[in-house]
Amino acid sequence: MIVLGAVHGNETCGTIAMRRLIEVLGTGILRIGCGSLTLVPVANPLAFALRQRVGDRNLNRNFRPTLHPQDNEDRIANVLCPMLASQDILLDLHSFHTAGEPFAMRGPGNNCGTLEPFSLANEEHALAVRLGVRRIVDGWMATYSAGVAERLARTPPANRAGLLSVDPCYGMGTAEYVRSQGGYSITLECGQHEDASAPEVAYQAIRNALAHLGLIEDTAPPACPNPEYLLLTQVVDRLHADDTFARPWTSFTPVCRGDVIGRRHSGSAVVAEQDGFVVFPNPHATVGNEWFYLAQLSNPT
Ligand SMILES: [Zn+2]
């Protein structure tokens, strides 16, 4: 298993948790008795040093090896991709912008499709429900694919050059890359960036994963008895610096069909097309990029 922290430089809960784990391993109280464990406490050193989300761009989008790296994140991906490809399992530790409950993000169900073919959904699910969080979020790649299609529709071909957000690989992050290489992966969002409990959530998740997978001799953690499943259904971009939210949304706030979520620069309302939840609202989103997402409760699979 490989564990990543600070893929986004201001998300330090995984870094703190891994440094703690390295100390515990150093004492000899805890021993990796089977398999191998790779810890990367700071995946994006430039962003981490700057204490901000990105160095030159978002490391967790368009994540793949490139022959001619153009920026900091391209160069990091060229180091991380071979490491990730050689692993069976990734636990990627993140935190989020507004207050809320920690959650795990899974990949797709087993499928032979072209977007994200996968055959390890059962194994991935078994890990997701043992990390110590209740909420599980699905639908990342499909939502991103639809988001890219929507950007393509509004971006004239002449304006697309160098625009990573219209690349079909835009939704490909570390987790999706591991799945594409035959492994499985959970992205764990451990709490709000400054939440003092987020490093503990991250630490317990690593310990639970190690015990569940049999890398350490410890009691295997039980599956969460009451998981809540949410399916991402839509990503909505901010199109102008004057696009503003109708209220200070926090993630997973319920909305009803027709509720006004924000207003465009033109004054037109951005409304919820169906009942659901506002997820990952970012009032400071870069123009042309993800402003907020919508999700719905879904049935467990
Ligand atoms: Zn993140």
Which of 50-59, 172-181, 279-288 is least confident? 279-288
Q: From the CA of 188, how far away is ligand 1's center (Å)?
A: 9
Summarize pLDDT for 86-119 with one digit per residue, the tens.
999 999 999 998 888 999 999 999 999 988 999 9
- Residues forming a β-bridge with 255: 276
CA of 96 to the centre of ligand 1 (A): 6
Spatial separation of the C-alpha atoms in residues 59 and 171, rounded to whole Å = 11
Query: In 3D, which of 222, 234, 232, 228 has the Cα closest to residue 299?
Result: 228
What's the gap in Å between 9 CA and the centre of ligand 1? 8
Residue 283 sits at the vertex; the CA angle it makes with 4 and 177, to the nearest 5 degrees, is 30
pLDDT at 51 over 60: yes
pLDDT of residue 75: 98
- Between CA 107 and CA 256 the distance in angstroms is 27
Distance 105 CA to ligand 1 centre (A): 12
Average pLDDT over residues 170-196: 95
CA distance 44 to 22: 19
What span, in angstroms and rounded, lies between the C-alpha atoms of 39 and 32?
12
**Rounded CA gap, 159 and 198, in Å?**
40
- What's the whole-model pTM score? 0.91
Q: How far is the CA of 54 from the centre of ligand 1 (A)?
A: 10
Cβ distance 55 to 73 under 8 Å? Answer: yes
Q: How far apart are CA 144 and CA 17, in angstroms?
A: 30
Ligand 1 midpoint to CA 11 (Å): 6
Report all structural domains of the chain as residue ranges with CATH numbers, in order of start.
2-226 (3.40.630.10), 231-297 (2.40.50.100)
Secondary structure letter of residue 138 according to DSSP: E
Q: How far is the CA of 30 from the centre of ligand 1 (A)?
A: 28
Residue 300 pLDDT level (bands cut at 50, 70, 90) = low
Cα–Cα nearest to 217, from 18, 90, 36, 32? 32
